[in-house]
Chain A
């Protein structure tokens, strides 16, 4: 196999598929990336047996077709450190020589035949949208998913398509984020699939903010395939029942509070400094056109911050874990956000975007 290609493009492609390569594995061969050169260009492929990524590069000069297995870490590092705009790769047996700008490097690879084969993708239901939009939806929801899996804390994000729109929903049992988007197409595609967090993470790294390039999401019975441009990511779906998120959305509110997002974020961050170590909690006191935030801990002291707000309704107080709110605000683009609340034991709803809603359960008994 012999190819000549743009170094930056190759680095980008290798990085994308490398994000799937496991850092710890019992199968050393998985620490490689498969490079296949054919008449039309090259394809890079990597898998950790749960996810797989594939990237094609067309603007490549292929002098000799063939396949080689490249160690992911060393190859990325090398490509990053080289400075020439182009790079040549040539493989003999299991060795691959990389030449660029006066340097010559030989990487010892393993037998490509031993690498797991690409699984045939079972096609299913599909939808399409601008990839920049999908990336935004991922960012608006991923942070709320659970780090570990427990009964109501799913380590994945629900993709719920139906009635002409698609929703991403993530929860850790204590807070829940929903991002939705109306679909352009007329076909009434309908499915519910839970995508592992890792897959979305990997996908997010391959997407560009604001990109208009379409992403195709295809959901099969046990797999999902994301295709955008020359990149394709395949992942197993999580076989879990997602909790009833529609049921916990508050339908009404006794009080609504409209606040400047930047004001809220700053004030909350300051107040949170004085939370107790073992229970991070800030009390929100909603009064006459003010939102007052109080945090205290016997060890550290007390914080009391007030900001202006437009308050309609009864007012009252409610306690939150400040990190839950700060994490969400970080993904929020609006200048002004809205909080809908009732009493201090009911979930509160934050409207953080045109199609971005966030529900948080309070801390009770304080």
Chain B
């Protein structure tokens, strides 16, 4: 009865369980099973996170450390190691990015993922969520709880209801049901004050809110709060997952089922990646001024190299720079498990100021690629436009730059020899 978005999205909310505390317990076996409190108990110090054992005592985040100590005298206070948490967060994000590039981090341990476009490749939301949970555990030895739903808000509530180590899926169309019995405090932005206001109006649960029409809510609580309550209580949160990366860069990665060792194979993949990134840049009417290469050796050694370039969306230029970066990053001995090419620091394709800044060129090749781009550039642009047009009509793989490629990965375009 309630309108469902024309094509329901699949949104995941991934939330590490007691992240900092879990990291400390992972790294220090003597802390396992104990009430661990990340933070200090000096004056003005607060609790960052508490382990589940400590939470039993009533300790929670943002509580003053002094009070936490009172509640939990055997609590073990640990100074946070932010660099470590940040590094682990990076690892977790690498797992996320294998499934989608639409990742919106909320903090080091929480993120939204929009996997709508990844379902064809990886399966439904539940399947993806299960894989993420498994991969994160394997990668970091830590647990992540995941909520799957058709909107950000519902996914976030879902990830929370079955913590720790939970996976909750809210099937499209069942959002209202799912939310109905939850307390008012579950509504985002509804704290004690608003709760009191709602209760005075006779609303004690989300179900009650659901029973009111949009007009009634706006009339009773004002256009801001009223609208907000309506949207949330009915699971109608349309907000998109804003990948902060997508705005600043466009890239593509491939992980290989079998690690690659041959230079030609790797260059072949780089060419594919460069083509995909080039096409997306052109479609977004952007040009990249920084090109980044990402390389991973099994099991998890990741390297990244980047280079400033004259603004480009040209496949072969991306490929050329990526190959040069590869030479500096890969010693040709270690096998390669993942390759990524990203165009970053984007500028609009027709912004005149972007490219027309005069620059003294260099005699020697490695410093300045622009010096080598001859007057053939116009011809190349025409070629690229023609290729894009063919792809638009016949599909992504219809036309390729010449070159040997071997697709060994299950999540890239298949080889067309």
Taking A343-B375, A345-B374 as contacts, is the C-beta distance between A361 and B360 under 8 angstroms?
A: yes
**Residues 353-367 of chain B: 1 if any A CB is under 8 Å from the residue's CB, otherwise 0?**
001111111111011
A347 an interface residue at 8 Å Cβ cutoff?
yes
B371 touches A361 (CB 8 A): yes
Q: Could you tell me if A152 and B364 are in contact, using CB atoms closer than 8 angstroms?
A: yes
Most buried by A among B358, B359, B361, B370: B361
In the bound complex, what is the Cα–Cα distance between A173 and B364 (angstroms)?
Answer: 6
**Does chain A have a CB within 8 A of B373?**
yes
Residue count of chain A within 8 Å CB distance of chain B:
25
B364 touches A281 (CB 8 A): no
Assembly CA distance A362 to B358 (angstroms): 10
Least CB distance from B351 to A in Å reads 13
- List A contacts of B357 (CB < 8 A): 365
Q: Nearest Cβ distance between residue B95 and chain A, in whole angstroms? A: 38
Measured between alpha carbons, how far is A362 from B368 in the docked complex, in Å?
12
Number of interchain pairs (Cβ within 8 Å): 62
**A363 touches which one: B355, B361, B364, B373 (CB < 8 A)?**
B361
Cα(A219)–Cα(B146), bound, Å: 71
On chain A, the residues within 8 Å of B356 by CB distance are: 365-366
Assuming the A-B contacts A151-B367, A152-B367, A173-B367, are A363 and B360 also in contact, with contact meaning beta carbons closer than 8 angstroms in the complex? yes
Q: Which residues in chain A, 259-306, are within 8 Å of chain B measured between CB atoms? A: 279, 281
Q: Tell me if A25 counts as interface (CB < 8 A to partner B).
A: no
> From residue A125, how far is it (CB to closest CB) to chain B in Å?
27
Contact of A279 among B355, B358, B367, B375 (CB under 8 A): B358
Residue from the list B362, B366, B374, B375 in contact with A361, Cβ < 8 A: B362
Query: From B377, which residue of chain A is reached at the shortest CB distance?
Result: A345
The interface residues of chain B lying within 8 Å CB-to-CB of A365 are 310, 355-359, 370
Q: How large is the interface on B (under 10, 10 to 19, 20 to 34, 35 or more residues)?
A: 10 to 19
Residues of A near B361 (CB, < 8 A) are: 174, 345, 361-364
| In contact, A174 and B363 (Cβ under 8 angstroms) | yes
Among B360, B367, B370, B374, the residue within 8 A (CB) of A343 is B374
B363 / chain A contacts, CB cutoff of 8 Å: 152, 171, 173-176, 243, 248, 347, 359, 361
The interface residues of chain B lying within 8 Å CB-to-CB of A15 are: none
Q: Which of B313-364 contact A (CB under 8 A)?
A: 355-364
* Residues in B whose Cβ lies below 8 Å from that of A361: 360-363, 371
Whether B358 contacts A281 by the Cβ 8 Å rule is yes
In the complex the two chains form, what is the Cα distance from A239 to B362 in whole Å? 22
Which of A152, A359, A364 contacts B358 (CB under 8 A)?
A: A364
Docked-complex contact B360 and A345, CB < 8 angstroms: no
> Which listed residue (A151, A243, A244, A345) contacts B371, Cβ 8 A?
A345
Q: Closest chain A residue to B310 by CB distance? A: A365
**A320 shortest CB reach to chain B, Å:** 9
B177 to chain A, nearest CB (A): 61
- How long is the Cα–Cα vector from A346 to B374 in the complex, in angstroms? 8
Chief secondary structure at chain B's binding surface: loop
A363→B367 contact, CB < 8 A: no
CB–CB B371/A363 < 8 A: no
Given A152-B363, A174-B362, A281-B358, the answer on whether A364 and B374 have CB atoms closer than 8 Å is no
Closest to A362 in B: B361
Known A-B contacts A151-B367, A173-B367; the reply to A363 vs B359 at CB < 8 A is yes
**Which of chain A's residues have a CB closer than 8 A to the CB of B364?**
152, 173, 243-244, 248
Contacts of B362 on A, CB cut-off 8 Å?
Answer: 152, 173-174, 361
B-facing residues in A318-366 (Cβ within 8 Å): 319, 321, 343, 345-347, 359, 361-366
Residues in B with CB closer than 8 Å to A279 are 358
Cβ–Cβ < 8 Å partners of B310 in chain A: 365
Which residues of A sit under 8 angstroms from B370, Cβ to Cβ? Answer: 345, 364-365
Across the two chains, which residue of chain A brings its CB closest to B359?
A365
Q: When the two chains form their complex, are residues A366 and B358 in contact, meaning their CB atoms are under 8 A apart?
A: yes
Chain A, range 168-183, C-beta contacts under 8 Å to B: 171, 173-176
- Residues 149-176 of A, flagged 1 when their CB comes within 8 A of B and 0 if not, give 0011000000000000000000101111
By the criterion CB–CB under 8 Å, are A319 and B374 in contact?
no
User: Which residues of chain B are within 8 angstroms of A319 by Cβ–Cβ distance?
Assistant: 358
Whether the Cβ atoms of A364 and B367 lie closer than 8 Å is no
Give residues 200-241 of B contacting A (CB, 8 Å). Answer: none
- Give residues 188-224 of A contacting B (CB, 8 Å): none
Question: How many Å from the CB of B249 to the closest CB on chain A?
Answer: 23
Q: Which chain B residues lie closer than 8 Å to A321 at the CB level? A: 360
How distant is the Cα of A366 from the Cα of B352 in the complex, in angstroms?
Answer: 11
Q: Specify which chain B residues have a CB less than 8 angstroms from the CB of A152 in the assembled complex.
A: 362-364, 366-367
A343: B residues at CB distance < 8 A:
374-375
Counting chain A CB atoms within 10 Å of each CB, the highest count among B356, B364, B366, B371 belongs to B364
A241-265 Cβ-contact flags toward B at 8 Å (1 or 0): 0011000100000000000000000
Q: How far is the CB of A39 from chain B (nearest CB, A)?
A: 54
Which residues on the A side are within 8 Å of B360 (C-beta)?
174, 321, 361, 363
Smallest beta-carbon distance B356→chain A, Å: 5
Query: Which residues in B have their C-beta under 8 angstroms from that of A243?
Result: 363-364
- Considering only residues 361-410 of chain B, those with a C-beta below 8 Å from chain A are 361-364, 366-367, 370-371, 373-375
**Complex alpha-carbon distance, A321 and B310, angstroms:** 20
Expressed in whole angstroms, the Cα–Cα distance for A281 and B360 within the complex equals 9
* Residues on A with beta carbons closer than 8 Å to the beta carbon of B371: 345, 361, 364
Which residues of A have CB within 8 Å of B374? 343, 345-346
Known pairs A345-B370, A361-B362, A366-B356 / 10 extra A-B pairs, C-beta < 8 Å:
A152-B364, A171-B363, A175-B363, A243-B363, A345-B361, A347-B363, A363-B360, A364-B370, A365-B310, A365-B356
- Residues of A whose CB lies within 8 Å of any CB of B are 151-152, 171, 173-176, 243-244, 248, 279, 281, 319, 321, 343, 345-347, 359, 361-366
In the assembled complex, 16 residue pairs joining A and B whose CB atoms fall closer than 8 Å, in A order, are: A151-B366, A151-B367, A152-B362, A152-B364, A173-B362, A174-B363, A175-B363, A243-B364, A244-B364, A248-B364, A321-B360, A347-B363, A365-B310, A365-B355, A365-B356, A366-B358
The 6 closest A-B pairs by CB, nearest first: A366-B358, A152-B364, A361-B361, A248-B363, A363-B360, A361-B363
